[in-house]
Amino acid sequence: MKLRHRCLIAGAGLVSALLVACDSPSAQGVSGDVSSALDVCGQGRGEFAAHVCERRELVTLDNAVRDVLVAESANISEAGAQMLVQNQQRWREAQRVACGVADSAAAFDETQTQCLESRMRARASEAQTSVQEVGGYVFQRMELVDAAPVPAAIAAAAGRPEPAIMRDIRFPRIDGPQTPEVRAFNDMVAQQPQFRLQDATNETVDYVIAYAGPDIISVRFVYNHDQLRAATPSSTLRAVNVMMRERRPLGENDVFRADSGWQRFITDRAVREISRQFSDYRDFPPPRDVYETATKPHLWLVNERGLTLLFPPLSFGGSHVDGATEVLIPWADLGPYLNPNAPAPIGPAAAG
């Protein structure tokens, strides 16, 4: 994707390093702006960056991340490039805190250096999926990453030596022309923190794009939170299915014919599959619990293979330790119950 160079205007607290002179003959384009903005050893980067630059291994790893993000930026708009840089700068600052460097002016000890090395190495790998092209769309991963030191009193009460509370919330954004349909999708999938950092709760949200097409985009979200004072972490699942042309969530009538008995069919199918998965349990799972979960569209994933029913922990009569499970029902099996006017990939052609 060839992008026309324009003057980028960043608001307070955003990516001031991306500001370039309009119509400058030396302008290198979006990738050059990203490379310059993410140069950890550039001028005016701050004391933490200066300490990174004192360690060859850290500079090498940080530059590896930068190189990946520069390559990824070739496929996104200038606005997307701003967000890409902002994501990385916010991530870098959070890792400082997460590795126990509470004072940005402080030099790193060996333990902190090893922590930063490990996190930067993992970051270089995951950065390769910062931009995905799926179903004719360019999806950019948005990241709300923050960290705060754990107050000593809370750490002592929890009996856990963690140096920081971490927030890592991710969701997709369609880059490119912001049509009404694209804006509606971006609004519907955007995620926000459910906890404050001072709540002493680690919070993560991650996603997978299950399907993307002209009519439907289906996204699977996993939510985890771990309160330091709680005995066990908690997790749940959710799907966001956007009817792109109508700019609204997928509803049950978009998939099934009314009064076709689809609720009974998918419940019975899910009961059989879950009982197979948990064969050590007797008279399990309770059909009523399965029905209450299986018939909720925000727990459905759509793709070419069929309809996947998401069952978060505790949603199908089990205990928290049983975790989550999923049940895939092929479109061919659902054929008698499907809405004949359902959009792809749900329609009669998909059902065979």
- Mean pLDDT score of the chain: 88
56 compared with 14, residue with greater pLDDT: 56
Over its C-alpha atoms, the chain yields an Rg (Å, rounded) of 23
| 117 and 135 both lie in a single domain | no
User: In the predicted model, is pLDDT for residue 171 greater than 60?
Assistant: yes
Q: Which residue among 73, 101, 129 closes a domain?
A: 129
Q: What is the pLDDT of residue 23?
A: 32
Domain CATH code at residue 235: 3.30.565.40
Domains contained in the chain, number = 3
User: In the predicted model, is pLDDT for residue 275 greater than 70?
Assistant: yes
Which pTM was predicted?
0.86
Please name the residues in contact with 187: beta carbons below 8 A apart, sequence gap of 6 or more: none
Q: What is the pLDDT of residue 156?
A: 67
DSSP H stretches of helix in the chain: 29-37, 47-53, 56-73, 78-98, 110-126, 152-158, 180-189, 252-255, 262-277, 287-294, 331-334, 348-351
End-to-end Cα separation, the chain, in angstroms? 37
- 3-state SS assignment for residue 113: helix
| 95 and 207 both lie in a single domain | no
pLDDT tens per residue across span 233-261: 899 999 999 999 999 999 999 999 999 99
| 95 and 187 both lie in a single domain | no
| 234 and 278 both lie in a single domain | no
Q: What is the pLDDT of residue 59?
A: 95
| 235 and 329 both lie in a single domain | no
Q: Which residue among 69, 96, 129 closes a domain?
A: 129
| 193 and 315 both lie in a single domain | no
Spatial separation of the C-alpha atoms in residues 352 and 348, rounded to whole Å? 6
168: closest CA among 228, 87, 247? 87
| 6 and 96 both lie in a single domain | yes
- 3-state SS assignment for residue 191: coil
Q: Which residue among 69, 101, 129 closes a domain?
A: 129
pLDDT tens per residue across span 181-236: 999 999 999 999 999 988 889 999 999 999 999 999 999 999 999 988 776 789 99
- Residue 222's φ and ψ, nearest 5 degrees, are -120, 130
User: In the predicted model, is pLDDT for residue 18 greater than 90?
Assistant: no
Domain with 20, as residue range(s), is 1-129
Residues 316-339: what's their mean pLDDT?
A: 92
| 281 and 242 both lie in a single domain | no
| ∠ CA 253-254-258, rounded to 5° | 25
| 105 and 143 both lie in a single domain | no
Please name the residues in contact with 163: beta carbons below 8 A apart, sequence gap of 6 or more: 97, 98, 99, 100, 102, 149, 150
Q: Residue 146 belongs to what H/E stretch?
A: strand 137-149
264: closest CA among 291, 297, 302? 291
Q: Which of 9-13, 52-56, 229-233, 276-280 has the lowest mean pLDDT?
A: 9-13
CA dihedral over 240, 244, 248, 249, signed as positive or negative: negative
Q: What is the pLDDT of residue 160?
A: 60
Under a CB-based contact definition with an 8 Å cutoff, are residues 317 and 285 in contact? yes
Tokens of 294: 């299986």
Residues 310-322: what's their mean pLDDT?
A: 87
pLDDT tens per residue across span 79-122: 999 999 999 999 999 999 999 998 888 889 999 999 999 999 99
